[in-house]
A and B are shown apart, each in its own frame.
Chain A
Amino acid sequence: MGEIVIKGLTKRYGPVTAVEDLDLDVESAEFVTLLGPSGCGKTTTLRCIAGLEKPDAGEIVIDGRTVVSAEKGIFVPPEKRDVGMVFQSYALWPHMSVFANVAYPLRMRRVPRREVRPSVMEALGTVGLADYAGRPATMLSGGQQQRVALARALVARPRVLLFDEPLSNLDARLRANMRTELRSLRTRIQATSVYVTHDQVEALTLSDRIVVMSEGRAHQTGRPQEIYVRPRTRFVADFLGFDNVFDGRVVGVRDGWYDIELKIGTPAKRGDAGPVIAAPARTEPPLEVGAAVWLAVRSSGLSPAYPDGSPVGGKGGGANGRRAITGAVVARMYLGEDVEYAVDVDGHRLIVRDRADPGDPGDPGDPQKDDLQFAEGSEMRIEIDPRRTAVFERTSQPSGVADPDSLTLTR
């Protein structure tokens, strides 16, 4: 029960197409996240499911019942769709108490009065706010308000729960707590859920499946690990933190791997244009030798080494199976657990992330001494972990990708 089928959903605002020909099936009790940058159409899609927007084309079926179909002229208004929704701004009614806010969906469904109270208290208990029922809704902190909003969405046991960036108004620490709670909550309540966010951590931790969207289209749909490890388009890779992108060319295809020659760095053999890196061959369709490609690597997939080839503390491991390029450190940033370096290789800026060396805990330390391994200006040899790479056929216009030059150390 509660499955959602979206077919050919299209929504335009004047000349702007917010969602274009989107197809999506959400299974019963499945938790699906729409992930993408602002303006990618994820919220519009959610609002079409809720009935707060009328699509220009396409149809949505919830639980076997067509709730909207532009072609058939069907539109079921939001109040008749039996969905629960958590809004970004909480949207608690300031003139009502916490209790009255949560009881509202039950009152609208004409639930007998004596059943309202236990249901409301149960919902408030679920979010840990049973003691706050009598408070005015405005006298709560942001995190508490969002819990009340959650209780309000849950209380009538709707078939479908919709979340519109529910955590984005909370500060970082509260967001992490609420994420954990949502995670445990979703195993307890078996409602079909559609969750909209631009935060990849939320998407990865909460979802059964993730739909990565850009410019009104779904770029990739898959399990969190699939999306994270095997992005299918350059956009998805870019959005999920593949922060280094190399231009290259396929020079060899063998047994599930491509050999890719990079345009930058020093060639391993005389006569080659650049270093050759192995990368998993997952492109569809498969690429031929000679194809122009992008090779995307996470900053954590680049390991720093000393110019002589000896490995550096943090990640350990040698140069096994890795091919190296060399550059100069132009900036570095200490992030606590990690160190991030900006490295200039032939005029290209690469971002390299390494575990920070904690040093000797017993050593009182020399305040003048710098524990970070590479000083600015020093030479660094960078090794590429082939397992953390992704290959895409190069097109002239990478859709939805930010200007690569704008990638900086501060992400």
Chain B
Amino acid sequence: MTTASPSAAPSAAPPARSATATRGWSGRAPNPMVVALVLVAAFLFLFPVVMFVVGAFRTAAPGLPGSWSVRGFVDAYTSPTMWPTLRNSVVLSTSVLIIATSAGLFFAWVVARTTTPLRRLVTPMMVLVFAIPPLFFALSWSMLANDPAGMINKAWMALGGGGAIINVQSWYGLIGTSAMKATAAAYLLLLGPVMAIDRALEEASLMSGAGRLRTLVRVSVPSLGPALTGPMILGFVVGIGMLDMPLVLGLPAGIRVFPTEIYNYIANSTPAKYAQANALGLLLIAIVVVLVLVQRRVLSGRSFATVVGKSYRADPADIGWRKYPCAAAILAFGALALILPLAQLVVGSLQPYFGVYGRWTLANYQTVWYDPASFSAFQRTIVVGVLSGLVASGFAFAAAYVARAHRTPLARAPMGFTWLLWGVPGVTLGLAMVWAYLSVPGLRSLYATVWIVAIALIVLVTPIAARLGEGSIAQLGAELEESARVAGAGSVRTFLDIVLRLVLPTFLLSWFVTGVLAAGNLDVPILMSSPNNRTVPLMIYELYSNSSLAEAAALFCILLGVIAAGGIIISIVSMAIRRKEVRTAWARSSSRA
């Protein structure tokens, strides 16, 4: 039948045997690739955190000679603003946690379990809200509710209302916009578990005589138990760690939170008070790490009652007239989170000066286009986004694969490091990177370049890529690879032919999402800024600070356009891969007929 007859095989065998014999029993010694990965992970993730801790006890700025001291802690924690700041941070985080988790759960339930009209729009909407930089919401809502130039107040006055109707530079605005952003994340985390709720649990409750609402409250939500801790902790972490929203919406109203205090210690003090900033940042990191550890403990101790092997795909229930309020809620969220802000940005970018209605102009775009600074900022941002997303996803998928393939504590370490930084606030991470890279002579030259920004953003987004990679690799049955090995493919060949091809769609998704998160991030670059490494979000924030709102809006519209273009490219590539697979499959079988 073939040349691969048994008689041919022995002749091929001896070299193989000798090759493997010399490698000997290498399974016992750590694999060099594993060691390399662990070292890279330790350098990227562990080293900055260690330096950050060290920095809290130094009297001088990073890289400068100083002495050991606890002055930073004493100063920071005895400062008169400390307690109001702590209170504000807790109020903000708790509110975001409660609103985001309930809203996320509500939308997940509507999508998974009801026949509400428009429900198919929710997931794309949430993905958009998740991926769009937080600065977008901060900027556009501060414009929307501007008194008197914002669209909402203009409309209100046009209807005969006197004065401004809303003011987002307030607690309500800060909590509302932050919660909107966090709702998207909560929804995306909850959709799977809500879909996986065992219908039998609910049916049993209905049979016992409980009504639908009672079943929902008494059975469905409690059975989600452990799955709910994820979005709750995420909501808290987002609330306590984000800088851009409080910077734009909170500070003008006098609301100080930890990230803005850290930012002030560095950016608005001369000389910059690094030790104080680190001391505050350590508290943030400690809170986040404790929460993540608590969550992992909770998750490992309790099995997911809701995650069952089989998928129950009962038809979603018709909830009668109640579906119309639900549809209205979807519309309202879409309007508040996407349509109104986007409309305001577009309108604002076409105004000669923000608030001047009736005279439309492209002047802002021209200004941006012909400004070499913004042009190179775009170049940098694209490079940073593409590169950070690629490196973060590549690292995360490799780490996830190695962790599964080797199953040793050493091989699992890189994934563990990504958990360490899961949810560490961007502003503290930026600070940690400055400490880490300024303390090492060779790396110091990276400071003030775009590369340190890129590395910091890689570190920031890798945990997100890691979650995607973990899921995607875990879905890949080990037997798919084993069957390739038995079929005669070596380990490298198996990885290329099977693993890589199968995770490619998720990999592209991860690349895009983390790339967008990196490109749109303000918290990290804001502490590393220098004229030569500014990215677009930083420029937008500077324009905003200088009240050049129309120009900031134009810049943002271009950024969104670039992101959309990236999204289109990624979708086309994914589609081409899928089509090519089918086509080659057909070609292989039919061309030789």
Binding site for B on A (CB under 8 A): 1-2, 50-52, 54, 63, 65, 70, 73-85, 87-89, 91, 93-100, 103-106, 108-119, 122, 133-134, 136, 149, 152-153, 155-159, 162
Contact = CB atoms under 8 A, between A and B. Distances in A.
B493 to A, nearest CB: 7
A3 B25 CA distance: 25
Contacts of A85: 482-483, 486
A91 B482 contact: yes
Given A80-B13, A91-B477, A157-B5, A104 B585 contact: no
A73 B480 contact: no
Contacts of B209: none
B485 A106 contact: no
Contacts, number: 159
Interface stretch (B16-24, B43-51, B177-185): B16-24
B98 to A, nearest CB: 42
14 contacts: A75-B24, A76-B16, A77-B20, A82-B488, A84-B487, A87-B483, A91-B479, A93-B498, A93-B502, A95-B501, A97-B582, A104-B497, A115-B1, A159-B6
A119 B489 contact: no
Contacts of A54: 25, 27
Contact of A94 (B10, B479, B486, B502): B502
Contact of B486 (A79, A103, A136): A79
Given A52-B485, A96-B585, A65 B477 contact: no
B contact residues, range: 35 or more
Given A84-B487, A100-B589, A156-B488, 20 more contacts: A51-B486, A74-B17, A74-B20, A78-B486, A79-B486, A80-B16, A82-B6, A85-B482, A93-B483, A93-B502, A95-B581, A105-B488, A108-B488, A115-B2, A116-B2, A134-B586, A152-B487, A153-B486, A156-B4, A159-B9
A254 to B, nearest CB: 54
A96 B581 CA distance: 7
B564 to A, nearest CB: 28
Given A74-B21, A82-B9, A112-B3, A50 B480 contact: no
Contacts of A70: 25
Contacts of B589: 97-100, 133-134
Contacts of A116: 2, 592
Contacts of A118: 1
A100 B484 contact: no
Contacts of B497: 104
Contacts of B488: 79, 82, 105, 108-109, 156
Interface of B: 1-6, 9-10, 12-13, 16-17, 20-21, 23-25, 27, 477, 479-480, 482-491, 493, 497-498, 501-502, 581-582, 584-586, 588-590, 592-593
B503 to A, nearest CB: 10
A161 to B, nearest CB: 10
A85 B486 CA distance: 7
B484 A104 contact: yes
Contacts of A156: 2, 4, 487-488
B485 A73 contact: no
Please indicate which of the listed interface residues A80, A112, A114, A136 has the most CB atoms of chain B within 10 Å of its own CB.
A80
B369 to A, nearest CB: 43
